[in-house]
Chains A and B, each alone.
Chain A
Amino acid sequence: MRIANIYKQELKFYRRSTIIWMLVFALGVFGYLSLFNSFTQDVAATTKILEGMPPVVRAALGIQLKSFFSIFGFFGYLLTYFWMVGAVQASNLGIGINSKEVSGKTADFLLSKPVSRFKVLTSKLLAALTLIILTNIVFSLSSYFSALIFSKTSFDAKIFFLVCSSMFFVQLFFLVLGYLISVLVPKVKTVIAYSLPLVFGFFIFGLLDSVIGVGAMRYITPFKYFDVMYIIAHKSFEYEYLLVEAAVIVVCLIATYIIYLSKDIQAAA
């Protein structure tokens, strides 16, 4: 199966970097949740410190005093930043997995083989999706077990995994957006030059929403699609935003396929 050989090869190409990303998430979440007890030892003192911060800064940082001292609140606070790191991984993958054939000048090799461009694009997308899913499994399990180790009180595992799965949806958004960029930009010399502005751009939109409270901003940035407190309270996501994300994904993928299937592959020399 020719779709399987490209898929397998891409998994091999990205094996090492994905393991590094997995370690970053696992160690990061373990390190952060290990601080939970220190923060909750003296709730009053910590609350006083946090209250000393200007409300705008607290809002920008996503600190909610009511929930900060629960394992969900504590985890949810840093989850935004894990989303950001995850978004960088996903957009790097989305941009790089396809554009590397042009920047590495291997597009001639690949596309002179008996395989359609549709299959090339699909198999690479499936490989990227697999890597993202594997990263999320590691992220969710390491978060769950870290929470289990460091939380003194019991918590609902189902809700915890639901909260963790928000990472997957954020990454999916950036993966397909990156995939679109990979076919739009004629030659991507450095992936990071596109992924970082992309992620930070959307992150700043999110901060603006937190600070000035423009509701419409929530539709623009995936960093605002998932409200941890809402997930805990309703045991579900806000479907409105999931639909927005689904629409973005469908539009991006259709555009990516149309552009890639009709574009000329420039000579390598």
Chain B
Amino acid sequence: MNIIETKKLTKYYGDTLGIKDLDLDIQQGEIFGFIGPNGAGKSTTIRTLLGLIHPTAGSATIFGKDITKFGPEIKEEIGYLPSEVFYYDNMKAIDLLRYSGSFYKKDSKLIEKRIKELAKYLDLDLKRKIDDLSYGNKKKVGIIQGLLHEPKLIILDEPTGGLDPLMQQKFFDLLREENKKGVTILFSSHILNEVQKLCDRVAIIKDGKIIKVDSIRSLAENTHKRFMLETAVRVDKSRFTGIKGISDLVITDNSVSFLFRGHINEITKIIASLNLTNMLVEEPDLEEIFMHYYV
């Protein structure tokens, strides 16, 4: 069953294109990554799905219901965390979360229990005022308000900004736990690495259009990695000729750099035969993926 389904979903802001002819199918129980550079249309898609902005053309359903007709009903089962969190500054975290919980039909005692559990897990002091919280702690409030009603669909729009690496890990663990319960997750990000860590499938969006939908396994195999090798002696170019998947090869006296796309074992065999002093393997940024793979 498709939890989210969009057909030719289009949004223009006046003359400016937000998204165009977006076709997406997100299945129940999957963690679906949605990646693209800033301004690609990720947030526009999410904001349209949530009814914050109105589509110019096309349609979308969530849980099989039209987003424009059943907005409030659909949102009963959605948890949303935006990239930037803003709440009522004068409220205490606990009051904000109780207010958030009051919108849902769930038993208030269960919501209260869930708030306490999540706050303990994320190490958040609920008695502090929103205004006094650091950005990272505000983000924790955002996570709790998105999960306190145990939604069937979690929509995350670049959610990790402001969270330290340890907290990011805890957050990902929390999402995996929710996913094990059958919760579907739409995870938007411009950081390929975090999408790779978490997601089953991924859609890449550029200039408002979906340019690729693929499984994360297939994407990882087909994605370029940048290799930067420091060598004790100059390496002859012939060592790399004829190897499928290498591009942008640059060799200087003591260094070799190239982009590689393919099975990682093939290239590590070659590298193992070199006299290395240092090695760096980097994920390419999205721009590189677009330049070298999709364009």
B73 to nearest A CB, angstroms? Answer: 7
Nearest A residue to B105, CB-CB: A114
Q: Which residues of B contact A106 (CB under 8 A)?
A: 86-88
| Contact partner, B43, options A116, A119, A264, A267, Cβ 8 Å | A267
B:64-92 near A, CB below 8 Å: 71-76, 78, 80, 82-90
A259 to nearest B CB, angstroms? Answer: 13
Asked whether, in the complex, the Cβ of B80 is within 8 Å of the Cβ of A112, the reply is yes
Q: Which residues of A contact B71 (CB under 8 A)?
A: 116
- Measured between alpha carbons, how far is A107 from B74 in the docked complex, in Å? 18
- Measured between alpha carbons, how far is A123 from B84 in the docked complex, in Å? 26
Q: Which residues of A contact B145 (CB under 8 A)?
A: 109
A146 to nearest B CB, angstroms? Answer: 34
- Measured between alpha carbons, how far is A267 from B87 in the docked complex, in Å? 14
Q: Which of these binds chain A: B44-52, B165-173, B194-202?
A: B44-52
| Contact partner, B52, options A105, A112, A115, A119, Cβ 8 Å | A112
Asked whether, in the complex, the Cβ of B86 is within 8 Å of the Cβ of A105, the reply is yes
Asked whether, in the complex, the Cβ of A108 is within 8 Å of the Cβ of B82, the reply is yes
Asked whether, in the complex, the Cβ of A114 is within 8 Å of the Cβ of B73, the reply is yes
Asked whether, in the complex, the Cβ of A113 is within 8 Å of the Cβ of B86, the reply is no
Task: Say yes or no: is A189 at the interface (Cβ < 8 Å to chain B).
Answer: no
Q: Which residues of B contact A107 (CB under 8 A)?
A: 52
Asked whether, in the complex, the Cβ of A5 is within 8 Å of the Cβ of B103, the reply is yes
Q: Which residues of B contact A13 (CB under 8 A)?
A: 88, 90
| Contact partner, B86, options A108, A111, A115, A262, Cβ 8 Å | A108
Asked whether, in the complex, the Cβ of B47 is within 8 Å of the Cβ of A267, the reply is yes
A11 to nearest B CB, angstroms? Answer: 13
Nearest A residue to B145, CB-CB: A109
Task: Say yes or no: is B54 at the interface (Cβ < 8 Å to chain A).
Answer: yes
Tell me how many residues of A have a C-beta within 8 Å of chain B: 23
Q: Which residues of A contact B13 (CB under 8 A)?
A: 264
Contact with A along B25-56 (1 / 0, CB 8 A): 00000000000000000010001001111100
Task: Say yes or no: is A104 at the interface (Cβ < 8 Å to chain B).
Answer: yes
Nearest B residue to A267, CB-CB: B43
Task: Say yes or no: is A152 at the interface (Cβ < 8 Å to chain B).
Answer: no
Task: Say yes or no: is B102 at the interface (Cβ < 8 Å to chain A).
Answer: yes
Task: Say yes or no: is B100 at the interface (Cβ < 8 Å to chain A).
Answer: yes
Q: Which residues of B contact A268 (CB under 8 A)?
A: 82, 84, 86
- Measured between alpha carbons, how far is A5 from B75 in the docked complex, in Å? 17
Asked whether, in the complex, the Cβ of B99 is within 8 Å of the Cβ of A9, the reply is yes
- Measured between alpha carbons, how far is A111 from B78 in the docked complex, in Å? 12
Asked whether, in the complex, the Cβ of B88 is within 8 Å of the Cβ of A111, the reply is no
A212 to nearest B CB, angstroms? Answer: 45
Task: Say yes or no: is B104 at the interface (Cβ < 8 Å to chain A).
Answer: yes
Task: Say yes or no: is A269 at the interface (Cβ < 8 Å to chain B).
Answer: yes
Task: Say yes or no: is A265 at the interface (Cβ < 8 Å to chain B).
Answer: yes
Which among B50, B90, B103 has the highest number of chain A CB atoms within 10 Å?
B103
Asked whether, in the complex, the Cβ of B78 is within 8 Å of the Cβ of A112, the reply is yes
- Measured between alpha carbons, how far is A262 from B103 in the docked complex, in Å? 22
With known contacts A114-B72, A114-B75, A264-B52, A109–B86 Cβ distance under 8 A: yes
Asked whether, in the complex, the Cβ of A112 is within 8 Å of the Cβ of B50, the reply is yes
Q: Which residues of B contact A113 (CB under 8 A)?
A: 75, 100, 103-104
Asked whether, in the complex, the Cβ of B72 is within 8 Å of the Cβ of A111, the reply is no
9 contacts between A and B (CB under 8 A): A2-B102, A104-B88, A105-B84, A108-B82, A109-B145, A111-B51, A112-B82, A267-B82, A268-B82
8 further A-B contacts with Cβ under 8 Å, apart from A104-B88, A116-B71, are A2-B103, A105-B84, A108-B86, A112-B50, A113-B100, A114-B72, A265-B47, A265-B52
Measuring CB to CB, which residues of chain B are less than 8 angstroms from any residue of chain A? Answer: 13, 43, 47, 50-54, 71-76, 78, 80, 82-90, 99-100, 102-104, 145
What 9 pairs between A and B have smallest CB-CB spacing?
A105-B86, A113-B103, A5-B102, A264-B53, A114-B75, A114-B76, A269-B84, A265-B52, A112-B80
